[in-house]
Amino acid sequence: MSTWSRNIVLSLLLVSWFNISAIEAPETKNINESQILFKIERSKDPDEIWYATNLNSDGSLNQDMPIKVFWVKKTENNIVEPLTLIQKRFSYGIKAMNSVDDEGNEWHFRLAAYSDRIFKLKRMASDQYKVFTLSGTKEIALTQIFVKFDGGSFMFPSIAYAKLIGIETQTGIEISEVIIQDK
């Protein structure tokens, strides 16, 4: 079983037994569309995991936790819920977030369930932030990740693939990359 699949399975298993919520829930009224960095959609149901810039009350980026991650439960009238601690650690959370400059204009991080890839949170000239990664040799501004579940059970789902979708920075063309983990 791949690392990606194992982490998702462990997360689902532990979440079903322990619904331990994160310390604070994000509030959607404090998040505008320009703060949304990317979303994870899944074939399992329409619920989504959103990644957004975490801004202080003065509009500056929170240097301690630059990105907040939360559920948008489409199946429950779009209510917003925090990730559980288990989900943060094994599936949808962020690992190893490090600033690469003193001004906090660029951060490198990895996703908990897919630590093979480096993602970069960068401040743009417009003072908005975007997330970038390499797809082959091309840099893309990430907009979405889609996870395709392929059977299995609730406790042991099988993940067929994950698809990264983004805009190539050089051409402005939307491209996608399918990632199939080793079994």
Structural domain contains residue 81: yes
Mean pLDDT, the chain, rounded, equals 84
Quote the CA–CA distance of 51 and 70 in Å, as a whole number: 7
Structural domain contains residue 102: yes
Phi-psi region of 152 (alpha: psi -120 to 50; beta: other; left: phi over 0): left
Structural domain contains residue 30: no
Q: Give the range of the structural domain holding residue 143, as residue numbers without chain letter.
A: 3-22+35-179
The band of 12, judged by pLDDT with boundaries at 50, 70 and 90, is very low
Structural domain contains residue 50: yes
Structural domain contains residue 78: yes
Structural domain contains residue 18: yes
Quote the CA–CA distance of 82 and 24 in Å, as a whole number: 7
Structural domain contains residue 28: no
Quote the CA–CA distance of 94 and 30 in Å, as a whole number: 21
Q: What is the DSSP letter of 61?
A: B
- pLDDT tens digits, 102-117: 888 899 999 998 889 9
The band of 1, judged by pLDDT with boundaries at 50, 70 and 90, is low
- pLDDT tens digits, 118-134: 999 999 988 899 999 99
Name the domain count of the chain.
1
List Cβ neighbours of 132 (8 Å cut-off, separation of 6 or more). Answer: 119, 120, 122, 139, 140, 141, 142, 166, 169
- pLDDT tens digits, 128-167: 999 999 999 999 999 999 999 888 765 566 889 999 999 9
Residue given tokens 């093979």 in the structure block: 116
Quote the CA–CA distance of 176 and 174 in Å, as a whole number: 7
